[in-house]
Amino acid sequence: MQRPNTPVLPAILVAVLIGSAATYGIMQNQQRDLLGKLFVVQEELSETKENLLGYTRFTDYMTESKAAISEQMKFLAAKVDREYVHVQHIQTSTLGIHSDATIILRYNVEYSFGFDLRPDRFSISGDRSGITITLSKPELVASPAVNILSHEIPSTGVFIDEQAAVIALQQQLFAVAKRRAVTIKNDEAVIALCEKKLAEFLRDFLAKQPDVKVVPVIRFAYK
């Protein structure tokens, strides 16, 4: 007795379905892997973007920086000390008798130089290349302080009050110190010292602001 033929089509269909299911499973796994990798890349890009923003975040604080600088203006002066020796010859004549003396003074002068940091007298700007402060060159911001270190009188006169002469000479030295300030303020070393003082304050201020990761180079431009 001959057996009936086994249907071929259902067997092929089952094989196709099994193959399709396996392929679908593989594709799902690949899709999950791709989505996972995409998520990681997005996270890395987001973190990188946040880090990059931290390197330029300082530009958001230019207005606050200017206000802080103006508020601290009197504390941003640079102290400059200079030491001098002054030789003074004194001559007097009493009843036809001439008398003279020599006084040698060693003294130092403390100068205070700084920028005019009133809000309308300077500007501050920042971009990726750095920060620029535009302002006028330093000025004398306080009266010079004259301090006598020592005095010597190698020769004395009969009718000369030496102590009074020293006091009078000390008063004259204040005017001398003010005249010297005009030259000293233009000294490149003094200007550099004033810049350093201001730049240190600004750098410290910006470093404390939220999300600022780096404070760039600070440049000075003069009007």
Residue-range domain boundaries for the chain: 8-57, 60-222
The pLDDT tens digits of the residues spanning 35-71 come to 666 555 555 555 544 455 555 789 999 999 999 999 9
Is the model's pLDDT at 85 over the cut of 60?
yes
Q: Average pLDDT in the 163-188 region?
A: 89
Q: Which pTM value belongs to this model?
A: 0.69
Of 102, 77, 101, the C-alpha closest to 185 is: 77
Helices (H), the chain: 8-56, 62-71, 162-184, 188-207
Q: What is the pLDDT of residue 114?
A: 96
**Proportion of the chain above pLDDT 90, given as a percent:** 52
What whole-number distance in Å separates Cα of residue 37 and Cα of residue 104? 84
How high is the pLDDT of residue 49? 47
Q: Give 99's pLDDT tier (boundaries 50, 70, 90).
A: confident
